[in-house]
């Protein structure tokens, strides 16, 4: 399993998930479909379907266009999220397969939107899994509570996503990491891991490189919104 970043708009990321043996690919939130297709074609891939995390235009806004550009492509989205261009509605626990080795599990992670879906992706046994968290979990942060409650965000972050295997790579929808880590440091000024990750994130951005992915383990160590059970945060 290979994952490619496709920077879009000002600070969004779309992603290509690739099954290496078949060269089949899935696009996550392809808001600028021409860019995503160009990346896919340059890598010699066959785009099979779209995974939409939620209905906001900067994630789902390219769905109709990609359906024009790739006739017959399937577009997955949360069953209660009213995703533009959706052809296949998914609910918590639904599974989708890609190529020979990749399995995608839909996880309902509401709050940012009521039907927000994160996609947990596994490949071969020796490969670390990945999770595409849209605007629910950011590196060292979380999305705004547009359609849900703090209780729902706690469940989404600490229970649903927090219980994934620690090496799971976290791919989120926006490049907010440096700002989020700056905030995290105001909450835990003594946290050495936050200090180190902030320095690293700033260096990455200065070099024009993404700060994504993180891992679930790193988030449990540095993300204040996934550390709310700890007395030091409370």
> How far apart, in whole angstroms, are the C-alpha atoms of residue 149 and residue 207?
37
Active site includes 5?
A: no
Active site includes 81?
A: no
Q: Would you state the structure tokens that stand for residue 218, as one six-digit string?
A: 């790193």
Alpha helices in 95-168 (DSSP H): 150-154
The single residue of 55, 56, 108, 116 carrying the catalytic annotation is 56
List the one residue out of 167, 178, 176 whose CA is nearest residue 219: 167
The single residue of 55, 59, 108, 116 carrying the catalytic annotation is 59
The single residue of 19, 54, 81, 108 carrying the catalytic annotation is 54
Residue 140 class from Cβ within 10 Å (0-12 exposed, 13-18 middle, 19+ buried)? buried
Active site includes 58?
A: yes
The single residue of 19, 81, 108, 112 carrying the catalytic annotation is 112
Helix or strand holding residue 199 (H, E): helix 192-206
The SS3 call for residue 156 is: helix
Active site includes 59?
A: yes
Helix or strand holding residue 24 (H, E): strand 24-28
Q: Would you state the structure tokens that stand for residue 34, as one six-digit string?
A: 């021409």
The single residue of 19, 29, 55, 58 carrying the catalytic annotation is 58
On the CB side of 129, CA atoms within 13 Å amount to: 16
The single residue of 55, 108, 116, 174 carrying the catalytic annotation is 174
Active site includes 112?
A: yes
Query: Taking the C-alpha atoms of 45, 48, 54 and 58 in order, what is their torsion angle to the nearest 10 degrees?
Result: 40
The SS3 call for residue 70 is: coil
Enzyme catalytic residues: 54, 56, 58-59, 112, 135, 174
């Amino acid at each position: 399993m290979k994952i490619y970043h496709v920077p879009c708009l000002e600070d969004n990321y779309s992603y290509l998930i690739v099954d290496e043996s078949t060269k089949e690919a899935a696009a996550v939130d392809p808001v600028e479909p021409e860019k995503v297709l160009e990346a896919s074609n340059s890598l010699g891939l066959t785009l099979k379907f779209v995974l939409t995390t939620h209905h906001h235009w900067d994630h789902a806004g390219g769905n109709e266009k990609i359906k024009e550009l790739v006739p017959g492509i399937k577009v997955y989205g949360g069953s209660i999220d009213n995703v533009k261009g959706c052809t296949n509605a998914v609910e918590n626990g639904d599974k989708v397969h890609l190529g020979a080795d990749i399995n995608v599990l839909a996880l309902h992670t509401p709050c940012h939107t009521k039907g927000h879906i994160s996609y947990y992706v596994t490949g071969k046994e020796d490969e670390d899994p990945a999770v595409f968290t849209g605007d629910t979990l950011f590196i060292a942060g979380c999305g705004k509570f547009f359609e849900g409650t703090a209780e729902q965000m706690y469940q989404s972050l600490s229970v649903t996503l927090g219980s994934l295997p620690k090496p799971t790579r976290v791919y989120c929808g926006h490049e907010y990491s440096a700002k989020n880590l700056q905030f995290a440091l105001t909450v835990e000024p003594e946290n050495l891991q936050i200090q180190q990750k902030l320095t690293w994130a700033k260096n990455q951005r200065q070099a024009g490189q993404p700060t994504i992915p993180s891992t679930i383990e790193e988030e449990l160590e540095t993300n204040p919104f996934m550390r709310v059970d700890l007395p030091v945060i409370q």
